[in-house]
Amino acid sequence: MDRVIHQSRRLSCSVAQAFACFTQNALLTRWLTADANVSAETGGPYELFWQPDDRQNDSTIGCKVTAISENQLLAFEWKSPVQFKAFANQADPLTHVVVSFVEHASDCQIHLVHSGWRSSENWLAAYQWQENAWQMGLDNLVKLVEESQ
């Protein structure tokens, strides 16, 4: 059975604001990455760059949005950082992220599911690294939303 990363966070904002944090380049650079090239449409780029001066490494260059439903769901391909690039970024299909957004009375919940992890030992290291990275990233998102209230 493939491993799946599943994380969720309660955010003190509307689903529209939470959705924007995953789809607007200016907001993505405030909590997740150094530079972003995201177009919120199916087939559009979902490219994040942690080292903008070296766009081929530590980035999701070439990744695409695979599904989008405004303020409800966003799905996109994902690439791993340079230390896992040799196997993870050549995989077909790539790993895949689905984020769903659920409105509540005074806030919203996001659910992130990152699937497609293979079962070999080197994949386990990539999975563990990514699980930790999402943990930190989503914690940053919670802080960003709280600070903008």
Name the band, by pLDDT with cuts 50, 70 and 90, for residue 1. very low
* pLDDT value, residue 149: 80
Summarised one tens digit per residue, pLDDT across range 91-133 is 999 999 999 999 999 999 999 999 999 999 999 999 999 999 9
Question: How would you classify residue 3: left for phi > 0, otherwise alpha for psi between -120 and 50, otherwise beta?
Answer: beta
Domains of the chain, residue spans: 3-147
Q: Specify the DSSP element, H or E, that contains 109.
A: strand 108-117
Looking at residues 7-24, what average pLDDT do you find? 98
User: How many other C-beta atoms lie within 10 A of the C-beta of residue 116?
Assistant: 19
pTM of the full predicted structure? Answer: 0.97
> Considering only the top CATH level, what class is 3-147?
alpha beta
What is the C-alpha to C-alpha distance for residues 137 and 13, in angstroms, rounded to an integer? 17
pLDDT over 70 at 51, yes or no: yes
Show the tokens assigned to 33: 């990455």
